[in-house]
Structure 1
Amino acid sequence: MEAPVVNVGIMREKAVSFVFHGEYVHTETGQFLTGEQRVLFVGGNIVFNGKLYKELFFEPASPASSFELKAVTIGRNFHWQRQEDQCFKGAFNLVTCKDSIVVINQIDVEEYLTSVISSEMSAGASKELLKAHAVISRSWLLAQVEKNFRLAGKEEKQQSYYRDNEQLIRWYDREDHEIFDVCADDHCQRYQGITRASTPIVQKVVHETRGEILTDGEMICDARFSKCCGGVTEQFEHCWEPVPHSYLAALRDSRDTTFPDLTKEEEAEKWIRSAPEAFCNTSDKEILSQVLNNYDQETTDFYRWKVSYTQEELAELVHRKSGIDFGQILDLIPVSRGTSGRIDLLKIVGTHRSFTIGKELEIRRTLSETHLYSSAFVVDKEDIRLDIPGRFVLTGAGWGHGVGLCQIGAAMMSAQGYDYRQILSHYFPGASIEKRY
């Protein structure tokens, strides 16, 4: 049985430069093209070779053909955002949207996975870690395609945004994408085509796990992963839609399965200010290099970290990010925490007004130029004069949302001799592996 095909949104620009390596066929005209090409967005149309189009579709004339996109932005809005040229296999689709051109790569799921695993982590990672990652990346992707199919034609859109005078609750998920299945950046899964050197071992693990997915017995698991859970994983509903998944439960990232109730402020504070033993509590450079690509290795402290802001810095940042003038910031108060100690509702108290924000990614975006490493943090107020703090120090735990597989923890488990099935059963309790094709 053949693998399914997936549509991946790569970029959205007013002008796109690309190069065909080998021949591509423009399906509308039957014309064979090779070499450098350029399209422009003008008045709601794509201008290509002097003609106007709403959509362009190019298919590779042979399996060896590939296309190269110039100046693709990766890590959008993250601290390591940059541009790079990227090469891709498969078909190439250009579609107009209201103010730009959307570039979509149509690709076989197994070919896509070979790239994702090389993009998400070092292609030199251990075999069992890569096999575990292949299964969860395939599961997550096919779960999104399955969900698209279920929701197709339904009138109601899933609400992921709620605002009134007191609070803003927003979560970010792949429902933000309407004309393709998934995007190519951290919002979904990092997919950088064949740009990241895919080693024989990556190709081997994708082949060895071909068609394998996680299932809860009824549906494909919406398998998530993050860099570092901080010692305890988070439940799905504290980060995304309020629908619990039994296999995305809170669990200790350790052989010791006990952990305190981190939804309680006092327990969360003790946990975050300490550094309990966990698979992901490591500074082993060899382990970290398996998970962290070159730009990720610019980040050193992630299991426990500190960020400090002066009053002026924080007030300006929060005003700019939220669009709300709080005046001077008096306090940052956790209203509720998830099972890993991550804050999912945070009350910002200012001299002008108070306002509550959530969920975790909205909190991370509001309190940082890019993203805080996580929303599992406690706040210390310093240099207080006339009840106004002069400085805020955030002490935090983990890197990312903490739901599902912890990449650094899984790398450590692999190094300690766990195989990919044991790794998956640790992070996705109750789920089973099933071969679909």
Structure 2
Amino acid sequence: MRHWRSTAALLAILAPAACAPRGTRVPTVPVVVIGDTARPAPRDTGVIAPSPPRPTPPAPGNVPPVANATAVRVGLIVDTSAVEITSAGDFAVHTEDGREIGRLRGGQTVSFRDVGSTITMESRGGPAGSAMQPPSQAAGVGLRPPLVVRPASAGGTLTVRNAPYRGELRIQQAAGGGLTVVNRLDMETYLLGVVPREIGRFDLDIYEAIKAQAVAARTYAVTYLGRRQQQGFDVYATVEDQVYGGAAAENETVNRAVRETAGEILTYNGQPITAYYHSTCAGRTAAIDEVWNNAPVPYLVSVRDVDANGQAYDRSSSRYRWEERWTHEQMVNILNRTLADSLQNRRITRIEDMRVLERTPSERVRRLRITTDAGSFHVGRDRVRWILPPNRGGILNSSKFDINVVRRGSQVTDIIAEGGGWGHGIGMCQVGAMGRARAGQDYRTILRTYYPGTEIRKSY
């Protein structure tokens, strides 16, 4: 048994699909305190306060939209030569100043193509007699970007690459040439397409975890407003920021959780926090300075994520414990690729040893030594996940692992990593939040635990 392992049982369920990465910018946002601010959980003590009664499940039915919600710009497609947009209902193309230059019927498709400093557009399909109006715009006349596509009805959607999106789509030129498609919509509607993709499960017994995810995702997005101003949007629609599935991802339970927490964000000293989160922490989250070369952050500290019996709240995750195995030949090929910058035209032909030399307080790898016939290399922190990718592709699940080098005589034959967790380990543990919700904790308790010293406040 390795020294960082717990004795909790492994129960396999699907864990959330993505996690929010790093960021730096923290804009000023007006806030108003909601109700009483509870005392933050003690730092890194693992002491669990008595659980409140299990929250009442939401009643069925629609929740009214939120007024005055902040707008967010999502980069759906970045740097493409052409793009097609369609809709089930009528829609129109406008210039940036609001002038309508093309009106289309439901079922038609409008194509945009980059031609240097301008964009051409043309329509096709749809019912008879439904050509784009005015017809002159369908002949390939160059138009100055950006162009804005809007559905005719307030509840309409626009479809790009087979996925429907609410709000409007802006067709603009990418910084390096080509076209970028940006979905501009209000923050609350954006979250309806983010939270389902990030939390991954919609059972009512984890409803408070869904609300916690809504607040964390909203806070993350608020903090990143203007982050990519030069690219013309705020956040990517991928794991580069938060996974966004548009209208197709929406779920009634999640919709209610988003609406019931409308406008709520996490703050520290009155400012929005950078609300990192991840799938599975294997019983203990990581401080930001353990994982990345960042200065310590008072609310992104290591938290022992176990119940009163010492059982990890995220033990139900499919990646609570995991194993990866490589043959010597596979690892040689991997290292020649992932260590290429350090090798400086040398080639590895033999791996002699791999050993963890130093660990962080949350038992993640701080320094790993790889000894080869081309020299010794030291890697650590979150970078090690890219240096030792699994054979199936992607990156290593986490930096919380042990290395076992298998030998036949003096020759290395296999390398085995036995680890726990999924993601960088910073901030809220999503599967841990689910376990806390099942234990009766409400979303405020969950968030205060993972982000000590923070307050939940209304941003609008």
Cross-structure match for 2:40: none
1:367 Cα deviation from its structure 2 partner: 1.4
> Offset of 1:55 from its aligned partner?
3.0
Q: How many residues align?
A: 358
Q: Partner of 2:90: helix, strand, or coil?
A: strand
Q: Which residue of 2 aligns with 1:65?
A: 156
Q: Is the 8 A contact 1:117 1:202 kept in 2?
A: yes
Corresponding residue for 2:315? 281
Structure-2 change in CA distance of 1:46 and 1:343 (3 Å): farther
Most deviating of 126-135 and 115-124: 115-124
- Compute the TM-score of the two structures, normalised by the length of structure 2: 0.72
1:20 aligned partner: 87
Q: Is 1:314 matched up with 2:331?
A: yes
**Which structure is larger by alpha-carbon Rg, 1 or 2?**
2
| Cα distance in 1 between the residues matched to 2:230 and 2:372 | 35
Greater shift in the superposed pair: 108-117 or 176-185: 176-185
**For residues 7-66 of structure 1, what are the alpha-carbon distances to aligned partners after superposition, in whole Å with 9 as ceiling and x for unaligned?**
111123333233123233322151223422223345575442223344322233321221
Shift of residue 372, structure 1, vs aligned partner: 1.1
Partner residue, 2:103: 32
Q: Distance in 2 between matches of 1:436 and 1:322?
A: 45
| Structure 2 counterparts to residues 62-141 of structure 1, below 5 A | 62-70=153-161, 85-97=162-174, 98-120=176-198, 121-124=200-203, 126-141=206-221
- Quick check: 96-105 or 326-335, which moved more? 326-335
Deviations 1:126-161 (A, max 9, x none): 321111111111111111227x4xxxxxxxxxxxxx
User: Could you say if the C-alpha distance between residues 318 and 43 of structure 1 is closer, same or farther in structure 2, counting changes exceeding 3 Å?
Assistant: farther
Q: Report the Cα distance in structure 1 between the residues aligned to 2:291 and 2:151, rounded to whole angstroms.
A: 39
Paired AA for residue 374 in structure 2: H
Q: Kindly provide the CA deviation profile for residues 304-346 of structure 1, in whole angstroms up to 9, marking residues without a partner as x.
A: 1110000100111222234343332233344544332222444
Structure 2: gaps (5+ residues): 1-66, 123-139
State the secondary structure of the residue aligned to 1:403. Answer: coil
In structure 2, the CA distance between the partners of 1:356 and 1:51, relative to structure 1 (3 Å rule), is farther
- The reply to whether residue 341 of structure 1 matches residue 412 of structure 2 is no
Change (3 A) 1:348 1:60: farther
Q: Which amino acid aligns with 1:185?
A: T
Coordinate RMSD, CA, aligned: 2.5
Aligned twin of 1:431: 454
Q: Is 1:403 equivalent to 2:420 in the alignment?
A: no
Structure 1 residues 279 and 99: alpha-carbon distance in aligned structure 2, compared to 1, 3 A threshold: same
1:191 to 244, 264, 275: 244
Q: Which has the higher contact order (CA 8 A, sep 6+)?
A: 2
CA contact (8 A) 1:231 1:252 kept: yes
Matching of residues 184-223 of structure 1 within 5 Å: 184-199=237-252, 201-223=253-275
State the alpha-carbon separation in 2 of the partners of residues 359 and 40 from structure 1.
Answer: 43
- Structure 1 contact 327–353 (Cα < 8 Å) conserved: no
Answer whether contact 1:177 1:183 (CA < 8 A) is retained: no
**Identical aligned residues as a percent:** 29
Report the Cα distance in structure 2 between the residues aligned to 1:218 and 1:192, rounded to whole angstroms.
31
Q: Evaluate the alpha carbon distance shift between residue 322 and residue 181 of structure 1 in structure 2; reply closer, same or farther with a 3 A threshold.
A: farther
What is the deviation of 1:197? 3.7
Which of residues 375, 396, 399 is equivalent to 1:372?
396
Distance 1:93 1:332, change over 3 A: farther
Structure 1 position 253, deviation (Å):
0.5
Task: Decide whether the 8 Å contact of 1:8 with 1:184 is kept in 2.
Answer: yes
* 1:381–1:145 Cα change, 3 Å: same
Report whether the alignment pairs 1:249 with 2:301. Answer: yes
Trace 1:375-394 onto structure 2 (pairs within 5 A): 375-386=399-410, 388-394=411-417
Structure 1 unaligned runs (5+)?
Answer: 71-84, 149-174, 258-275, 284-299
Q: Distance in 1 between matches of 2:178 and 2:293?
A: 29
Q: Secondary structure at the match of 1:389?
A: strand
For 2:430 and 2:277, the matched residues in 1 are separated by 7
Are positions 1:239 and 2:298 aligned together?
Answer: no
Whole-angstrom CA distance in 1 between matches of 2:232 and 2:295: 24
The answer on whether the counterparts of 2:404 and 2:416 sit within 8 Å (CA) in structure 1 is: yes
Question: Aligned partners of 1:411, 1:364: CA distance in 2, in Å?
Answer: 25
Q: Distance in 2 between matches of 1:219 and 1:332?
A: 43
